[in-house]
Amino acid sequence: LTLNHQQVIVEDILGQGGFAFVFLVRSFNQQRYALKRMYVNNQRDLHVFQREIAIVKEFSSHPNIVKYVDSYVHRLSPTNIQTRNYYTTRSTSDDNDDDAIYEILLLTEYCSNGALINRLNEQRNIGITLNEHQILRIFADICRSVSACHFRRPQPILHRDIKLENVLIDSRQNYVLCDFGSAIMLPPSTTNEHQQYQINQLTTTVIQQLEEEIQRYTTLCYRAPEMIDLYSRKPLTLKIDIWAMGCLLYKLMYNTMPFGDSVLAIQNGTFVIPDDMAQSYSRELNLLVRYLLEIDIGKRPDIWQVAYITYKLLGTECPIPNRCQSKIPNLSAVTMPLTDSESRQQRAAALSKTKLTSQNTTDESSTLGTAVNPRERPRGMIAPSTSLINFDQVSQRSSNIAAMLPTPASATRSESASKLMFDDDFSQIPSHAISLNNIPTAISSAKNDLLVSRARPSPPTTASPTPGHVLQQQQQPQQFFPPPPPHSSNTHRRSASQTTSSMQNQSSFHN
């Protein structure tokens, strides 16, 4: 392969990412390098990898950032791709063609000791864990590389993908940060765009683009809470890398991620210390993890505060300058994270307390009754009765057997109506009231006078009724409707003819 200044031969493949292959190559002077090879088919991805090349080239002299050697970017035509002639370029006038395919080659130093994650896995397999001094030594080198990015001016660099897989060990046993394909340059602090990122006043279109970039270029278990929900309008700052460093430190200590891939756990910031390793590290180191994994962005430290505590635990002076004039951190104000067993006991106690509170509430409700008064059954509107008969007075006189006298059919009807009232007062409904206008005019005037007199109230009498009167009242049928009109001669004639016809039918049946 030919780059701008180097010609190399591929010896082996070192790794494969989502968008690139990494090869072990050898130059003509027998020097080994790592070659990152990528293909893109749009201008946006092309700019992403051009930015990565520029960042690595800028920090080439830093001892804790992978060193830049050479690079090459060229445009391929469809004909050249089909013929496998990848290195024939087209004219520069076609560089703005969005349908073009580009090949990007980035040549960096080869870290012979491999990735940090591989070293840890090898030691874990043989039962070796890192002691506290080794962890602080690794973390101090990472602080130096991140501080170089965050303190860059005028535009600080946000890595966005700090993880163990992106930390290499060079031949001098330095821990170096690599893979700046996810890195972005934040706007200068004097621009309006910087203020928009600080208070997250981004438009919906920009938020959607950021969501796509986060899904594509970052790792879920290392993401900060403000990256999980961009619509929460939390500031997007350099402290995104601080959260990722907290996850990395936890992984160095306990060989597992603090939140796994749980989005809810990341947003809550809840993690525990494994019981089997609770005594492996000092209280101060665990407090440092808690300090880094702070949900509140305002309380989360910056890179100088993290480096200050790290070098203090190492017992050496912090070499990173305090360029932002940050306050000296105090771990005494940080809450110690719980162990796994303590967290389970706390949840069990909270659950039992909730059940006890619920039971007490139920007992109080059963003792005091419901706090809501029962609703009364609605009643109909009381309409004035058009009847001259007072059913209440008739009912009162009917209940007093000693005062019972022979009553006409109309009084019997009022008594039966009062017996049917139950809980509801049907006598107040006009449709059930019996008016004198409905009584046939054929009734004698004497009976009408008696009926009207019954409707007027009279004092109760103590006269005892004769047995005949009581028997007559019991045998008299209860009628709800007015009695039929008196029989006329036509009625007698019709009844006689019906009787004769009926007898003839019976005689013919017997015959």
**What is the residue-wise DSSP string for 152-195?**
-SSS-EE-----GGGEEE-TTS-EEE---TT-EEPPPTTSHHHH
Q: What are the tens digits of pLDDT across the range 335-350?
A: 999 999 998 898 888 8
Which 8-state DSSP code applies to residue 31? -
Beta-carbon count within 10 A of 46 CB? 20
CA distance 464 to 470: 10
The residues annotated as belonging to the active site are 161
Q: What are the tens digits of pLDDT across the range 38-88?
A: 999 989 899 999 999 999 999 999 999 999 999 999 888 664 444 334 333
- 355 or 182, higher pLDDT: 182
To the question of whether residue 353 is assigned a binding role by annotation, the answer is: no
Two structure tokens written together for 346: 């706390």
Same fold, 1-110 and 113-350: yes
Q: Which CATH superfamily hosts domain 1-110?
A: Transferase(Phosphotransferase) domain 1 (1.10.510.10)
Domain boundaries, the chain: 1-110, 113-350, 391-495
Q: Kindly report the pTM of this predicted structure.
A: 0.67
Q: What are the tens digits of pLDDT across the range 380-392?
A: 555 554 444 444 4
Q: What are the tens digits of pLDDT across the range 185-239?
A: 998 765 665 555 555 567 788 888 889 989 998 999 999 999 998 888 888 899 9
Q: Does domain 113-350 have CATH number 1.10.510.10?
A: yes
**What is the residue-wise DSSP string for 210-248?**
HHHHHHHHS-GGG--HHHH-GGG-----THHHHHHHHHH
Return the pLDDT at 403.
43
